Amino acid sequence: MCLHGHTVWKWCSQPTLKYGMLVGDFMLGSNILLSGNNYAKISLLFRFMNMGMVERSSFFRIQDSYYVDSINDFLNEKRAKLITQLHPKGPVVILGDARVDSPGFCVQYCTYTAMDNDSLDIWHGSKNLGKKVLTAGQQKGCSLLQMWNKDICNHFWYCCKTADHYEDFFDMWTGLLHHVTGEHSWALVGEQREGVDPAGLRGTPESY
């Protein structure tokens, strides 16, 4: 400033938005919210690093003014789109699961996930299949199944990924019964069919 109190030159470490809001404050506030963190933890981190941090009151004021309504609008838009896609199917079966910040504590930060049963998670299906194969392999005379566990799960993934409908999946999946006995071609619906061998089943000599 000059001797008469006039501002000659002004410098700011970050751009400013309308009404003088700092871009860094706005972005920091949005990223804290969208990343699932909370103000107290990030503020403590910045204090340990001796860095400047947006004030708590400013953070919540910006959140209430800009973030909450935008997130709700986006959520409602995605929800309406999904409902429109599911409507032609008629009745649907929805699977749900909730996750809270800590077991037995505040449900304020509960996240609930819902999923159509027809888009059922393949990872969980493969995991459950592996457990069942493991259990079956512990029975007397079935220890050989333990060596096939990984290949069986891989074959399950392949069938789910490539099958267009239930019949295709069933044809490929039941082919596993032939592979594990060393048979790599078999009759299917009156014709000879070469077995699908995506998981390296043919190359497992322990099965023979």
Q: How confident is the model over 57-75, as a mean pLDDT?
A: 88
Range of weakest confidence among 29-43, 68-82, 104-118, 162-176: 104-118
Q: How far apart are CA 78 and CA 99, in angstroms?
A: 21
The full set of domain ranges for the chain reads: 1-73, 122-207
pLDDT score at 73: 93
95 or 181: whose pLDDT is higher?
Answer: 95
Task: Using the predicted structure, report yes or no on whether residue 37 has a pLDDT greater than 80.
Answer: yes
189 or 84: whose pLDDT is higher?
Answer: 84
Q: Which residues pair with 116 in a beta bridge?
A: 94
Task: Using the predicted structure, report yes or no on whether residue 66 has a pLDDT greater than 70.
Answer: yes
- Looking at the whole model, is its pTM more than 0.85? no
For the chain, the distance separating the N- and C-terminal CA atoms, rounded to the nearest angstrom, is 90
At residue 14, φ and ψ (nearest 5 deg) are -150, 155
pLDDT score at 120: 64
Tokens 């995506």 appear where? 198
pLDDT score at 3: 82
The token pair that represents 164 in the structure block = 């267009």
pLDDT score at 114: 82
Task: Using the predicted structure, report yes or no on whether residue 102 has a pLDDT greater than 80.
Answer: no
pLDDT score at 58: 85
Task: Using the predicted structure, report yes or no on whether residue 203 has a pLDDT greater than 50.
Answer: no
105 or 55: whose pLDDT is higher?
Answer: 55
Q: b/e for 83-118, b at 16 or more Cβ within 10 A?
A: eeeeeeeeeeeeeeeeeeeeeeeeeeeeeeeeeeee
pLDDT score at 106: 64
pLDDT score at 206: 39
Max CA distance (Å), the chain: 101
Task: Using the predicted structure, report yes or no on whether residue 190 has a pLDDT greater than 50.
Answer: no
| % residues pLDDT > 70 (the chain) | 85
pLDDT score at 208: 29
User: Residue 205's pLDDT band (boundaries 50, 70, 90)?
Assistant: very low
Task: Using the predicted structure, report yes or no on whether residue 188 has a pLDDT greater than 80.
Answer: no
